[in-house]
Structure 1
Amino acid sequence: MKCLSSCRLPDRSSYIWYKNGQVIRSQTSSSYSVYLNRADSFSCAVKGHEDFPSLPVYAPKVPSVSLSPSGEIKEGSSVTLTCSSDANPAAKYAWYKRTYQHYEFISEGRQLVFSSIQSSDSGYYYCTAENTLRKTTSESIFIDVTYAPKLPSVSVSPSGEIIEGSSVTLTCSSDANPPAKYTWYKKNVNPDLQPLSKEPQLVFSSIQSSDSGEYYCTAENQLGKRTSEYIFIDVKCE
């Protein structure tokens, strides 16, 4: 660190250095080298002009991260993360995302703005604040993006020919946050009647020829509802 003055000073001027507001009596030169702890601040003054000390310089404090708007974050909404740290000289900020123990640089700047946040943006974020003295890192903040179910997919097990009397399972799956609730229906059967199942799986423990037909499922959470394509079950008699 170097103590500078905009005024013309006499040759061989002496300086006073302060650490956390206390005089460092062993230092009288214009320069001072020291290992800087995160909590330390330093200032200086020209000897004889102690009433006009410099502003203290210090490393960035541990940054805080705020989220706007607070509360539930829905896919497609605008979300802003803000990083704040007290520092002199002023800190420069950078944003990172933590994925599978790796740290991905996202952007520089005090704010990280998602104009239309997506489900893929879910994850842990943190920021760094850095000046000429040190870099400090914030705690991570978790972004949990909620979204309506994607188009459900339907699978049948076992695959291949379905023989009467065998066990057959239809499975409905959809990516959703919060997780979806599932309902099974058979085509051409009044959906207002009791559905076939309200579980992800529709199980036929001993399937019959009368069970032949087209089936579909729905996936629903509080953000929306999607309906799968039909799957055709053709039961063969032995």
Structure 2
Amino acid sequence: MSVRMAPPLPLIFLIMIHGVYSADWGVSYNHSHICALKDSSVIMSCTYTYPTEHQIMKAFWTKYLGEKHPDLSEDPEYSQRLQYLGDKEQNCTIRLSHVTHKDEHAYYFRFTTHQNGKWITVPGVSLTVTDLQVESPERVTEGDSVRLTCKSSCTLTDRATFIWYRNSQPLTERRDTNNQLLLQSVRREDAGRYSCALHGHTYISPAVHLNVTYPPRNVSVFITGSAEIVEGDSVTLICSSDSNPPALNFSWFKENQSSAVGSGQSFSALQSGRFYCEAHNQHGSQRSDAVTVIVEDPPRNVSVFITGSAEIVEGDSVTLICSSDSNPPALNFSWFKENQSSAVGSGQSFSALQSGRFYCEAHNQHGSQRSDAVTVTVKGRAAHLPA
């Protein structure tokens, strides 16, 4: 609807189609609808015409229809943000800065002339203010492709170039002319908080977290304390992994054994060997390298071996060798003859020259053990009679 008043005629109401002028009177808006980004500046462009015999007295924008049409430039909510870029001849363009959702209205240009001519055209310019929201799947799996969308509540009037941010850092290589960000073959490094903005604007959307799930990686075993323990003690092994979601299932294995020897993130090793763990989540599993556990103990299974025969002829000797199972290996050995309190020899081997029952003792820093006794028999040489 367009309304004009000119003397000496009374007030005349003209029903018009927008953009069609009544005689020489009219206002033409470049856009009847404008979608603008929150906190941006909006240009509302228009031109106006009037009879040449009229002179413009006042030209202004308003958001009210009715008997009164308050000038927006005199409204405290607009006065600091509104700039009239037009003139009092034909151009009626304005700039409105730092728009918010409160500015969503229909706006109209009005002018008056010195001959009491008045004109306002409806519909005017309808302003919609939008913010930006990132639409993203909450969770993706490593290796998948994912598309993030920067959404607005209306189609932006100005040509928009979108910029993407991850963890507040711009993804300069991801700038695009549309509003989507495509991440192909997602990696765990792609996880983070994503936000979007328009090139040339300060407003940035709220961030949305992209969670990238993946199977266990970098699985390793940590040893609490020393990997060398004494028999009867234990060493605790802890399985560590990098995974999302965190691994909750762990299996422990001893090398050269097919079945698991334990479960849980920690494992108490009681014996020597090489141990490794496997970490599991719903996306897969991975095993660690093996670590070596050494259990030190005193000599066990100490025994004496006889080289050759235990029956010898007087004047000869028989060699006895002491054997033991220990960690670290026994290096000190003592030899005894039954019913004698003091040692009769040392070293891992001993030469027996006389009959008796002999045993050895093997020693390391953790203790000692004696063997069972073995019997050595020395026979006299046979006499040779003369012929």
Scaled by the length of structure 1, the TM-score of the pair is: 0.71
Q: 2:279 aligns with which of 113, 120, 129?
A: 129
Partner Cα separation in structure 1 for residue 235 and residue 227 of structure 2: 11
Which aligned segments of 4 or more residues in structure 1 are displaced greater than 6 angstroms?
20-24, 43-50
Residues 1:107 and 2:239 aligned together: no
- In terms of fraction of residues, the more strand-rich structure is 2
The residue aligned with 1:236 is: 379
Residues 1:94 and 2:251 aligned together: yes
Partner Cα separation in structure 1 for residue 193 and residue 213 of structure 2: 10
Give the conservation status (yes or no) of the 8 Å contact 2:310–2:318.
no
Q: 1:196 aligns with which of 338, 341, 345?
A: 345
Distance change (3 Å), C-alpha of 1:122 and 1:71? closer
1:4-52 Cα shifts (integer Å, max 9, x gaps)? 48xxxxxxxx94299x98769445xxxx8x5x87x76556979997612
Scaled by the length of structure 2, the TM-score of the pair is: 0.46
The residue aligned with 1:11 is: none
1:212 offset after TM fit, Å? 0.8
Partner Cα separation in structure 2 for residue 132 and residue 190 of structure 1: 68
Letter in 2 for 1:133: H
Letter in 1 for 2:235: V
Letter in 2 for 1:152: V
Letter in 2 for 1:54: L
Give the conservation status (yes or no) of the 8 Å contact 1:15–1:47.
no
Letter in 1 for 2:359: Y
1:234 offset after TM fit, Å? 1.2
Larger relative contact order (Cα-Cα within 8 Å, sequence gap ≥ 6): 1
Distance change (3 Å), C-alpha of 1:104 and 1:203? farther
Partner Cα separation in structure 2 for residue 15 and residue 108 of structure 1: 39
Letter in 1 for 2:282: T
The residue aligned with 2:161 is: none
Residues 1:53 and 2:209 aligned together: yes
Q: Which structure: larger Rg?
A: 2
Q: 2:333 aligns with which of 156, 165, 182?
A: 182
Q: How many residues align?
A: 206
Partner Cα separation in structure 1 for residue 290 and residue 228 of structure 2: 18
Partner Cα separation in structure 2 for residue 203 and residue 165 of structure 1: 12
Any idea what SS the aligned residue of 2:148 has? strand
Partner Cα separation in structure 2 for residue 129 and residue 171 of structure 1: 48
1:46-105 Cα shifts (integer Å, max 9, x gaps)? 999761223332332312312233253111113221111121111132111113xx5542
Any idea what SS the aligned residue of 1:63 has? strand
- In structure 1, stretches of 5+ residues that fail to align are 6-13
Partner Cα separation in structure 2 for residue 75 and residue 190 of structure 1: 30
The residue aligned with 1:152 is: 302
| Percent identity (aligned) | 32
Letter in 2 for 1:93: F
Letter in 2 for 1:95: W
Q: CA RMSD in A?
A: 3.4
The residue aligned with 1:74 is: 230
Residues 1:141 and 2:284 aligned together: no
Partner Cα separation in structure 1 for residue 310 and residue 362 of structure 2: 26
- In structure 2, stretches of 5+ residues that fail to align are 1-135, 140-145, 150-163, 175-179, 198-204, 382-387
Residues 1:216 and 2:367 aligned together: no
Distance change (3 Å), C-alpha of 1:107 and 1:190? closer
The residue aligned with 2:86 is: none
